[in-house]
Structure 1
Amino acid sequence: MAASELSLAWDPEIDTPATIAIVGGGRAGIEAALYARFLGYDVWLFERGRPGRAWQHVSHVPMSGTWQEETSPLGRAALEAQGTPLEVELASRPTYGEYVQRYLTPLAKTDLVYDSVQIQSTVRSISRCGIPPGAVVSVQEAADLEFRVLVDSVSRGPHCPIVDIVLDCSGLQPVGGLGPGGGWAVGQDRLEPGHLAAQRGTDHASVVGAAAGGRIVLVGNSAAAIRCAELLRDCEGDRIQRWTWLLPGRAGDGQASWAHLPDALAQTASVLVDRAPSEHWAALEIIGVERMTQLETGGWNLELRRRADETVEIQCDDLIVAPPEWPDWQICQPLRESLAEPPDRQADAPFLTPHPHYYVLGSKADRRAQKRLARTLDHIRAVFALIGGRRDLDLYQTIHPRS
């Protein structure tokens, strides 16, 4: 369905000058910021780390598409205009690390985007101006109110920009619960940040440095978990006595576990898991972790739910948690609570949310966007066609690099 054919209870058109807040500095966020700046909108892009931070765990993994497929003509044109053209063979496939280094980071540093980007800036919440706590308004009333974005920035401290439009490109966040159905395991509140793969890091020293000669349990089927598994495999029998990989919710053939991952990473995971068990390692399918008890020695005793009527226990000296990732809507919870009757999301327009002028892009709108940039670009094009009130608006067709 074309953007102009959508049936909305509010008017999506907002002319320039208007201010857009973009949450997340991955490729969806950077591409959206570039598109908005080309059209003359003021943009604030908030990234809690640095552009491409979410891919640091898989920097060595080839992307699913070629340079041609994983970059936009608008992005390549912007780099060319900056005097730093993307000099690669467009038919070749980059790794995630190469993509961030040679395309995403330079794009964020172009004159058009650079002043809009705030790195090390975490968005804590997004709410509407003019609505008292606990009050509810109609969709039509909400459409006339600006957004208040609470940002905690390393350089500026806490501050609250007021914006007209929000593009949520924050992607997928780790699920907190390790128990069945995503609930918390008993004792999970005793986990410290150092047990999480994201905080621990996924380099060799971080993963195995504190586990010389010990028993390690790795929990999760995320990209970070796979990177940890590769490192643990390489250290079997050397610094690690034994390690066990707990795979929550893994299907019988293993395929469903990796459906959310890029193809190359899913293949890596399958090869790792399908190895024969040995004295140094094993993979264990579980529904979830029921109970976690920290031992006096500093290790852990884990009670695992393997089937509805079966539990087993396992002990380890060190625990690495890298849970699966799903959309996190916590930052816009105040918006949800302020609408009297939020409309349903439209399946044929996944970038729309029940909240007027609040859009989602990238993997938060469609998990398939993790594997193909084309889906994200389609959504960016559709969103700005809505905002601009122009069905024919498509910068990807009108702006191309000369070379």
Structure 2
Amino acid sequence: MAVDRPATILIIGAGPIGLETALYARYLGYDVIVCEAGDVCQQVQRWKHVRMFSPFELNCSPLGKAAIGSHDPQHSFPKDDEIITARQWMSDYLIPLAQTDLIRKHIQTNCRVISVSRTWVHKSDLDSEQRQEDAFRVLIQREEIQQVITADVVIDTSGVLTNPNPIGAGGSNACGEQQVEQQIDRVIPTIDAAEALTGKRVAVVGAGHSAATTLIALAENAVAVTWITRNASEIAGGEIPDDPLTERKRISQRLTELVLAGKIHCLPNVAIHAITTTDDSAMQIEYFQQTDSEDELEIQQAMFEHVFGFTGYRPDTSMYRELQVHQCYATEGPIKLAANLLNENASDCLEIGSGSNSLLLNPEPDFYILGMKSYGRQPGFLFHTGLQQVVQLFQILGDRESLNVYQTFQN
């Protein structure tokens, strides 16, 4: 059923997908409120020094470029095939997008969403028509003040980067991990930060591309780095044959070179049992390591002066606990999309399609999860995939399968 304009759409998060969703909604005439817990694109700021895998053309929308161009006709964009850093993405696209006339006044920063529920209907009430007629009740907090906003549609684009997975065995906390959590580095180091660790003993836990990028930066600065993985010492999913993303291919090949050259010490097939700090602020990791031997595994120890943790992220679902959202038992993402992703089982995120519009539907009417959070614990989300989700969402809300604003502005 179509959501008539000017319905109120509340968007949680002013990250890249939140901004694009807000722009699309405003262009179509919806009333929009964007609630951002921190600053605009705050999580992108954390990795602003990092080169992106995909070219600029996959990290912008035709509508976004048109809105920025209308606001500032002299604005210069990166070339379509240019590989830019997150800093350039911020300065050349995301911040100008947030400052456009269509959405600037609709973004509320330092505005944290505490919970989303209905007003009169409870989670256990099963009448979907009654649920749809009952407005969303969104509890927000600014500094110490809480208040309620009502909305017809709620879209969660808050992402997962504020909720990293523990580095302990089985995906749970290692003994003592919560006490040293603030000392586990979750950010890819800058060149200066990597140089500051030269000569020190450093552990990198994880097998994704963030771990790989960190390992390269450290090894190239003569850091005594150990790569700790729960499986083999290779990037999760392995190297992609004929990888079309040149930066991703470069990272995979360079990591292999450094491992083969002995610049990176590998510690594969490890489960971290405990992590504690010593009197001299070093970190002691206790772990089990699987071998071909049938002997009982014994706890081993290693000392490090710095630890990086890149073991993925998980969604924080607490804010919509009172809504009827069917989550995947494995990824904690919305079940329809999660099942589709698990069935595709593609090693290359470029090969993962957005699927049918129905994959975005939840049992809760007019509540949607877009962006990285829609993948739950699954890695491989691309900004370009999020743009496809935005198109699909408004085809649902407008009850028009042919609706595609991006095509209107396509060069």
What TM-score, normalized to structure 1? 0.79
Change (3 A) 1:169 1:203: same
What SS does structure 2 have at the residue aligned with 1:291? strand
What is the alpha-carbon distance in structure 1 between the residues aligned to residue 52 and residue 99 of structure 2?
22
Aligned ranges for residues 192-271 of structure 1 at < 5 Å? 192-198=181-187, 202-203=189-190, 214-221=200-207, 224-236=210-222, 242-247=224-229, 249-251=230-232, 253-256=234-237, 264-265=247-248, 267-268=250-251, 271=254
| 2:227 and 2:233 in contact (8 A); partners too | no
Task: Give the CA deviation at 1:368.
Answer: 7.8
Matched, 1:182 2:171: yes
2:382 match: 371
Instruction: Percent identity, please.
Output: 25
Of residues 64, 88, 107, the one that matches 2:97 is 107
Matched, 1:22 2:22: no
Unaligned runs of 5+ in 2: 328-333, 341-355
Residue 345 of structure 1 aligns to which amino acid in structure 2? K
Unaligned runs of 5+ in 1: 1-10
Change (3 A) 1:318 1:41: same
1:386 match: 396
What SS does structure 2 have at the residue aligned with 1:185? coil
Matched, 1:321 2:309: yes
Aligned residues: 374
1:79 match: 68
RMSD: 3.4
What is the alpha-carbon distance in structure 1 between the residues aligned to residue 249 and residue 231 of structure 2?
13
2:277 match: 294
What SS does structure 1 have at the residue aligned with 2:102? helix
Structure 1 residues 162-171 or 289-298, which shifts more?
A: 289-298
Change (3 A) 1:267 1:225: same
Matched, 1:91 2:102: no
What SS does structure 2 have at the residue aligned with 1:218? strand
1:4 match: none
Matched, 1:305 2:262: no
What is the alpha-carbon distance in structure 2 between the residues aligned to residue 83 and residue 69 of structure 1?
22
Of residues 122, 130, 144, the one that matches 2:120 is 130
Change (3 A) 1:224 1:398: same
Deviations 1:254-288 (A, max 9, x none): 342789xx873464255235514788741322443
What SS does structure 2 have at the residue aligned with 1:148? strand
What SS does structure 2 have at the residue aligned with 1:166? strand
Task: Give the CA deviation at 1:165.
Answer: 1.0
What is the alpha-carbon distance in structure 2 between the residues aligned to residue 258 and residue 166 of structure 1?
38
Deviations 1:86-134 (A, max 9, x none): 53464322313222210111011001011111233333332222246x7
What is the alpha-carbon distance in structure 2 between the residues aligned to residue 59 and residue 169 of structure 1?
20
What is the alpha-carbon distance in structure 1 between the residues aligned to residue 58 and residue 319 of structure 2?
31
What is the alpha-carbon distance in structure 1 between the residues aligned to residue 246 and residue 371 of structure 2?
17
Task: Give the CA deviation at 1:218.
Answer: 2.6
Matched, 1:351 2:360: yes
| 2:22 and 2:103 in contact (8 A); partners too | yes
What is the alpha-carbon distance in structure 2 between the residues aligned to residue 263 and residue 353 of structure 1?
37
